[in-house]
Every structure is written in C-alpha cells, then in structure tokens.
Amino acid sequence: MGSNMVVKIMELVLFGGFLLHMFYGVLLQLQNWFARPSRYNKENFSQTSFFSKFMIHTSAIITVFLVIHLFDFYLNAKIFGDVPLVNYNGKEYHDLGIMVIEKFKIGGYVIFYIACFLFLAFHLLHGFQSAFQSLGLNHRIYTPLIRALGFLYTLFITAGFILIPVYIYFWM
C-alpha cells in the first residue's frame, strides 16, 4: 500500500480533511464562546445533548490520540525508519503489521486505544447528526432517522476499531 499512488493521494486527502475539520471545529467553538462572553444567569441545557456539551473536550483528547498514533506508526515508518523490513517480490517494504502486533500485545496500550476509541464514539455520536443539522437537514421526520443512522454508524466504526487491538491482544 505504501507504494500505491492512489493510497498516497488518499492519505493526503484524509490528512487534509482532518486538518480542515479541526480548524473549523475550533473556529466554531471560539465563535460560540465570543458570541456570549458572559454566562447566563440561569443555565438551560434542555436542547443540548450530553455529547454536544463536550465536543471540544473529546476533540482535544482525540487530537492527542492522533498525534500519538501517527508518531507510533506513520512517522516511525516514514521518517525515522524504526520499522522492520520485509522482502516481497524482490522489493523491501516496512513491516507495519509486526509493529501493530507488538504494540497491541501490551495491555496498557490496548486499554489506552480502547479508551480513545470510546471518546471517538462520543464525538461521532453527536457529530454525525450535527453535520446534517449544519447543512440545514433538520426535520421532525428525518432527524430521528439520521440520529438512528448516526448511532449505527458510530457503533459499527467504534466496534471495528476496538476489535483490532482486542483480537491481537487475546488471540494472536
């Protein structure tokens, strides 16, 4: 995959998408804070979901996780070259698979990843529905369907991410 041009382009698109998402998320949070610099005398969170109140916090945790994750796997392979090599069809490649297995054999590392994936789930649970609302797709009939799809999407993504370290730790 490391030599496939389509994968390299998609890496850039994904990384750029993350950067844009983080930039606009922080910008939106700052706009919200500056729009009302003093707090209300009486708080009313009736329209605010639990997850929406903590989006900026979960995003900070996810950002720290992404930096650690990118350093452990991506930068280690691309910049530092601290990855074992494997020979395939006469060419040498970085063996990221063995690196992943070695990392996920460490219990603390698995717990850290699972905790970060749960924070990602909290973030996605609100973010999925919120993205549709930001696009103006907020309707009394469609919004519950979008929330249900968001829940299923979050469940599927989070379970898939958690399955990898759990499988490696217990069965490899």
Give the Cα separation of 172 and 166 in Å (integer). 10
CB atoms within 10 A of CB 5: 7
Same domain (yes/no): 28, 59: no
Q: 62 and 98 share a domain?
A: yes
Structure-token pair, residue 59? 């995003």
Question: Looking at the domain assignment, is residue 44 inside a domain?
Answer: no
CA–CA dist 55, 20 (Å, integer): 16
Mean pLDDT within 12-19: 94
Q: What is the pLDDT of residue 47?
A: 60
Number of compact structural domains in the chain: 2
Number of H helices, E strands in the chain: 6, 2
Q: Could you give the 3-state DSSP secondary structure of residue 52?
A: helix
1 vs 163, residue with greater confidence: 163
- Is residue 61 in some structural domain? yes
Return mean pLDDT, the chain.
87
Residues 55 and 27 in one domain: no
70 lies in the same domain as 96: yes
Same domain, 97 and 165: yes
Domain that holds residue 133: 50-171
Residue 42 lies in a domain: no
Same domain, 75 and 145: yes
Is 163 contained in some domain? yes
87 and 154 belong to one structural domain: yes
What pLDDT was estimated at residue 86?
A: 83
Q: Tell me the pLDDT band of 152, cut-offs 50, 70 and 90.
A: very high
Angle formed at CA 59 by CA 56 and CA 62, multiple of 5 degrees: 155
Position with higher pLDDT, 168 vs 36: 168
Residue 44 pLDDT > 70: no
DSSP-derived secondary structure letter, 172: -
Q: Are 116 and 61 in contact (CB under 8 A)?
A: yes
DSSP β-ladder status, 91-94 and 85-88 = antiparallel
Q: In terms of domains, do 9 and 67 share one?
A: no
Residues 4 and 64 in one domain: no
